[in-house]
């Protein structure tokens, strides 16, 4: 059936059914994973991808959007490797974590499964999830001092983990041998495999109920619709050239700022995002691959154009200029473990450039860092003596204000729909105690609408000893406001050792922090940027902020 012949009601029904399949795959993994970063924080995603191009066709509503964008590159990598080697057949599932082929970083394992119907390859379904630990120099793998990929994690190219429906035990043995937490790896892998099996079964049931050609026509129509809507939305933005640049604190190895620069051009229905002025690739792990950079732009565009359906059609109206040799086009073996910090800054500059073109469409910058924190050691109690434990988590902050109101306080990063792991889960799983978990006063950017507030987290070690690292950003360059709005507060990380409070020499990144029982680590995260002039904020809003302790008395948010 041609996409032009499918009626609107059938298209709407199939759109809902296809999205539900992706959502159900998400839920299956979240409920079965062993790792809290997946089970509680939902650092994973699932989607349906084109059989020939690997382009995104459908994504779930609860998975990480940046994964969905990057997974198109992952599916293409699996297609290429299969074609060059053993071919693709029903019952195969390909696995890898190569960040240069499939985007993001080596903790994120991608599983790609072909879907056949009557002997015809009709699409791929894919799963991406953040595994707890996959080797490398530090537990949890966000190594802020890495200068090459092997110091970050084990590197797995596209290989079959399942061949014709049977587990490849040799590949599984390699994976288990390269982790500090083999039980966690085994549980997360099985959760992803179960999610793909369920997605495959649901798609086959849909093909049987609606007919394969009708479903394929719906997928083509949804992409065409997204393309048309994106062109129409871009046409509403005033033509012109809009530039913005922002900074990363450093790369964790050299204490020098790095620039993410955007030149955005709007010409009729077309948008060009040119990152040519961005800094060259660097020694430390804030490099990202081009696949990751494109995925970051996809996420930013979906924030700015929320009415457009979430598939590859969003990108058909956009030209990307990302020259080789840049921070955002890194190639093997440059370290990319801290990719989250760089893509957040890419989203920031896209928001701020769009604010120059159409402030009512954009929003102030969010807090701009996930503050990846690892506390790890060995159990000392008799029942579990010597057992390895690794607490890896990320933390929230304030989002930017916008033309309709204040920013969200203590939200998660705008790269995802993931949740911040609850302190009850972390305290139950690891020998730590949260002595503070609160909103951070005076952290939001001022404005007619203030940014959201950041947070304060303080964590006490209950075990005899542990090793800690922090991988953050926004310690030197604060989140920016728009339309005259103020900046959010800077990020502050500190730790106590024997009663002495210390801070990292590079402000936001440090490895090798040794803690003893009773020592604490403390995060004070940024708030979001404000929107509009602060003198336009209403008296009622000012009273609300001071009454609730969001800002100091006498200050305007």
Q: 154-188 pLDDT, tens per residue? A: 999 999 999 999 999 999 999 999 999 999 999 99
pLDDT band at 556 (very low <50, low <70, confident <90, very high): low
Question: In this predicted structure, what is the pLDDT of residue 554?
Answer: 64
**Which pLDDT score, from 0 to 100, does residue 414 have?**
87
Per-residue pLDDT at 39 exceeds 70: yes
pLDDT at 148 over 70: yes
Mean pLDDT for all residues in the chain: 95
Please tell me whether residues 28 and 174 are part of one structural domain: yes
Average pLDDT over residues 212-218: 95
Cα 46 to chain centroid distance, Å, stands at 13
pLDDT at 557: 63
Confidence tier at 310 by pLDDT (50, 70, 90): confident
Q: What is the pLDDT of residue 290?
A: 96
Q: What is the pTM of this model?
A: 0.95
**Model pLDDT, residue 380:** 95
Band (pLDDT 50/70/90 cuts) for residue 3 is low
Q: If you average pLDDT over residues 319-335, what whole number do you get? A: 97
For residue 555, is pLDDT > 70?
no
Q: Are 249 and 257 in contact (CB under 8 A)?
A: yes
What is the pLDDT, as a whole number, of residue 66? 85
The answer to whether position 410 is within a domain reads: yes
Q: Is residue 222 located within the same domain as residue 367? A: no
**3-state helix/strand/coil string of 462-509:** CCCEEEEEEECCCCCCCCCCECCCCCCCCCEEEEEECCEEECCCCCCE
What is the distance in angstroms between the CA of the first residue and the CA of the last residue of the chain? Answer: 57
Whether residue 244 is contained in a domain is answered as: no
Same domain, 223 and 367: no
Report, as an integer, the average pLDDT of 410-430. Answer: 89
Residue 151: inside a domain: yes
Q: Please determine, for residue 317, whether its predicted confidence score (pLDDT) is greater than 80.
A: yes
Residue 281 lies in a domain: no
Mean pLDDT of 306-329: 94
What mean pLDDT comes out for the span 431-459? 98
Spatial distance between the Cα atoms of 136 and 501, rounded to a whole number of angstroms: 29
- Model confidence at 281, in pLDDT bands (50, 70, 90)? very high
**For residue 297, pLDDT beyond 90:** yes
pLDDT of residue 485 exceeding 90: yes
Q: How confident is the model at residue 1 (pLDDT cuts 50, 70, 90)?
A: low
Residue 4 pLDDT: 67
| Mean pLDDT, residues 118-124 | 96
Strands 465-471 and 509-516: antiparallel
* Residue percentage of the chain with pLDDT more than 90: 92
Low-confidence winner among 3-17, 78-92, 126-140, 211-225 (lowest mean pLDDT): 3-17
**How many domains in the chain?**
2
CA distance 178 to 449: 49
pLDDT at 360 over 80: yes
**Is residue 279 one of the residues assigned to a domain?**
no
Statement: residue 478 has pLDDT above 90: yes
DSSP code for 421: P
Q: What pLDDT is recorded for position 415?
A: 83
Express each pLDDT in 342-353 by its tens digit.
999 999 999 999
**Domain contains 248:** no
What pLDDT score does 62 carry?
A: 84
Q: What does the alpha-carbon distance between residue 532 and residue 402 come to, in Å, rounded to a whole number? A: 9
Residue 140 vs residues 134, 182, 188, 415, 432: alpha-carbon distances, Å: 7, 13, 15, 20, 16
Q: How many other β-carbons are positioned within 10 Å of the β-carbon of residue 403?
A: 17
Domain boundary pick from 227, 247, 268? 227
Structural domain contains residue 291 = no
CA distances from 148 to 177, 272, 336 (A): 21, 32, 8
- Last-in-domain residue among 192, 227, 262: 227
Q: Which residue range(s) make up the domain with 19?
A: 3-227
Given 193, 227, 261, the domain boundary residue is: 227
Report whether pLDDT(2) > 80: no
Q: What is the mean pLDDT of residues 506-535?
A: 97
Query: Which pLDDT belongs to residue 60?
Result: 84
Residue 274 in any domain: the answer is: no
């Amino acid at each position: 059936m041609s996409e032009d012949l499918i009626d609107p009601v059938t298209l709407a029904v199939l759109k809902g059914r296809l999205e539900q399949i992706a959502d159900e795959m998400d839920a299956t993994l979240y409920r079965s994973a062993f790792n809290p970063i997946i089970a509680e924080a939902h650092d994973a995603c699932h989607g349906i991808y084109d059989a020939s191009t690997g382009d995104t066709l459908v994504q779930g509503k609860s998975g990480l959007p940046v994964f969905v964008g990057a997974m198109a590159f992952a599916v293409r990598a699996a297609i290429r490797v299969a074609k060059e080697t053993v071919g693709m057949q029903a019952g195969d599932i390909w696995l890898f974590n190569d960040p240069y082929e499939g985007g993001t970083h080596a903790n994120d394992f991608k599983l790609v499964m072909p879907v056949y119907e009557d002997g015809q390859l009709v699409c791929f379904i894919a799963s991406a999830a953040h595994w707890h630990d996959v080797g490398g120099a530090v537990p949890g793998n966000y190594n802020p001092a890495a200068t090459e990929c092997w110091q970050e994690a084990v590197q797995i190219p596209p290989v079959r983990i399942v061949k014709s429906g049977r587990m490849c035990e040799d590949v599984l043995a390699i994976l288990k041998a390269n982790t500090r937490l083999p039980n966690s790896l085994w549980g997360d892998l099985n959760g992803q495999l179960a999610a793909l099996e369920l997605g495959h079964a649901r798609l086959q049931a849909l093909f049987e109920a609606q007919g394969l050609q009708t479903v394929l026509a719906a997928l083509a129509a949804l992409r065409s619709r997204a393309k048309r809507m994106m062109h129409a939305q871009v046409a509403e933005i005033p033509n012109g050239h809009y530039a913005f640049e922002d900074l990363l604190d450093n790369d964790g190895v050299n204490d020098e700022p790095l620039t993410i620069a955007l030149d955005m051009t709007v010409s009729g229905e077309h948008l060009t995002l040119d990152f040519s002025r961005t800094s060259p690739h660097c020694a430390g792990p804030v490099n990202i691959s081009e696949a990751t950079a494109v995925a970051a732009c996809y996420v930013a565009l979906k924030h700015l154009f929320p009415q457009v359906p979430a598939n590859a059609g969003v990108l058909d109206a956009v030209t990307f200029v990302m020259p080789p040799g840049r921070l955002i086009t890194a190639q093997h073996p440059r370290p990319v473990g801290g990719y989250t910090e760089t893509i957040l800054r890419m989203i920031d500059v896209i928001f701020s450039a769009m604010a120059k073109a159409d402030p009512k469409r954009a929003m102030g910058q969010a807090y701009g860092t996930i503050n990846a924190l690892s506390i790890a050691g060995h159990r000392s109690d008799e029942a579990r003596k010597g057992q390895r434990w690794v607490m890896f988590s990320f933390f929230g902050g304030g989002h930017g204000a916008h033309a309709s109101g204040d920013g969200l306080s203590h939200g998660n990063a705008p790269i995802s729909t993931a949740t911040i792991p609850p302190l009850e889960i972390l305290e139950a799983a690891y020998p730590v105690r949260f002595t503070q978990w609160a909103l951070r006063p005076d952290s939001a950017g001022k404005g007619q609408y203030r940014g959201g507030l950041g947070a304060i987290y303080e964590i006490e070690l209950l075990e005899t000893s542990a090793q800690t690292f922090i991988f953050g950003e926004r310690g030197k360059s604060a989140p920016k406001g728009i339309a005259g709005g103020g900046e959010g507060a800077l990020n502050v990380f500190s730790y106590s050792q024997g009663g002495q409070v210390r801070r990292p020499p590079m402000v936001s990144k440090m490895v090798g922090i040794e803690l003893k029982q009773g020592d604490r680590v403390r995060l004070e995260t940024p708030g979001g940027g404000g929107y509009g002039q602060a003198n336009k904020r209403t008296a009622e809003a000012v009273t609300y902020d001071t009454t609730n302790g969001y800002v100091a008395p006498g200050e305007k948010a």
